Amino acid sequence: MRLSDRARTLPESGIRKFFELAEARDDVISLGVGEPDFSAPWTARTAAIDSLERGKTSYTANRGMAALRERVADHHERYDQSYEPESEILVTTGASEAVDLAFRALVDPGDTVAVHEPTYISYGPGIELAGGEQLTVPTRAADDFALTREALEAAGAAEADLLVCCYPNNPTGATMTGEQLAEVAAFCRDEDLRVVADEIYAALTYGTDHASIATQPGMRERTVVVNGFSKAYAMTGLRLGYALGPTDAIDAMNRIHQYTMLSAPTTPQYAAIEALDRCDDEVTEMVEEYDRRRRLVVSRFNEMGLDTFEPGGAFYAFPECGGDDEAFAEALLEAEGVAVVPGSVFGTGGEGHLRVSYATSMRELKEATDRVAAFVEGR
């Protein structure tokens, strides 16, 4: 069949190759997984089951169930974010749909969208599908991969129309303080950039609370915040996210959403209501366990001589392996059966690094880090 130019020219994800290499072996310990190893809290799962037993299988409102939007609004007060459930919140099929809708609603053909890298792999293709062009803003290991005004200026982001801001960051685990965000916010105001803030890992921070760029002065009206249930509540497969933003942006996203998706899946919305009502303690327990693993992984990689800065969020560490990260990751998989993702997959600035996910049991993390240490020793 003849395919569209758009589809034909869309590049294959760099992660695909490592997925295939890892899948080809059956003795692999994977530190390459971008989702929690926990299951969704049982009470949230039972709410989903109950809703099915009661026959709740219809569409919901386009914007998502009102009861869910009200709880999302309440929930976000913990991040000093305040949004009206009726007009400023849109429930989506995963945070991925929210990101896609934001691009489609905010990007005109030929617009430039600044994206800091290394970062999650979907923004570039999303921007391209919306007709925009990505402008890469490299972040640096020397800044612990935080975005700086200097980096934005050096990359020419003053000419951009929109900025994608993803903190806590996948793949680096970097977080940004309110002070650091203030600098970026000032740049956005000075240069009139709007922002898509992907804050899917907001609940997974260690030692500090999440800070959102949308809460900086003058930023609420120019920012669409994306979040969801996948990471904090271990609900990746239930595909439920949402966008928070000013009425005009949410209206526009909803206009697209009502044609392309109609409504987010109903069953997970029931699970999500329960998750927000009753699962804070379980999230806290998961965060505490991630935190113990984070410390173990960071100290083990530093001990074996692969410098690793202390990541403040998400469930990734980003050790430096030096040189060719793809070759390192392939050789490590070959020699020791440990899968990690080469940092360069996540764009400029990721080369010479490895993304190590600690969303894996403590026992496997110990075994995997022992194997990596043996590999490093033998090089």
Partner 1 sequence: MDAEREVLDVLARNAREDIDDIAAQTGLDAAAVADAIDALESNRVVHGYQAVIDWDRVDEGKIRAVVEINVELDRETGYEQVADRIAKFPAVDALHLVSGDYDFAVEVLGENMQDVSEFISEQVAPMPAVTQTVTHYIMETYKDGGIRFEDGDGDDRLSVSP
The binding site for partner 1 (CB under 8 A) comprises 13, 15, 18-19, 22-23, 28, 30, 32-35, 37, 120-122, 170, 288-289, 292-293, 295-296, 299-300, 339, 341, 362, 366
**Nearest 10 degrees: CA dihedral of 276, 281, 283, 284?**
140
Q: Which is nearer to partner 1, 278 or 295 (CB)?
A: 295
Q: Tell me how far, at minimum, the Cβ of 183 lies from partner 1, in Å.
A: 28
Q: Tell me how far, at minimum, the Cβ of 17 lies from partner 1, in Å.
A: 9
Beta carbons within 8 Å of 190's beta carbon, 6+ residues apart: none
In the three-class reduction of DSSP (H, G, I as helix; E, B as strand; rest coil), residue 228 is classed as: strand
Q: Tell me how far, at minimum, the Cβ of 122 lies from partner 1, in Å.
A: 7
Q: Which is nearer to partner 1, 13 or 82 (CB)?
A: 13
Q: Which is nearer to partner 1, 90 or 204 (CB)?
A: 204
Q: Tell me how far, at minimum, the Cβ of 34 lies from partner 1, in Å.
A: 4
Q: Tell me how far, at minimum, the Cβ of 90 lies from partner 1, in Å.
A: 23
Structure tokens at 40: 């969704």
Contact (CB, 8 A) for 189 and 160: no
Instruction: Transcribe 271-307 into DSSP letters.
Output: HHHHHHHH-HHHHHHHHHHHHHHHHHHHHHHHHTT--
Q: Which is nearer to partner 1, 84 or 289 (CB)?
A: 289
Task: Compute the Cα dihedral for 135, 141, 145, 148 and give only its sign.
Answer: negative
Contact (CB, 8 A) for 340 and 31: yes
Contact (CB, 8 A) for 219 and 246: no
Q: Which is nearer to partner 1, 28 or 141 (CB)?
A: 28
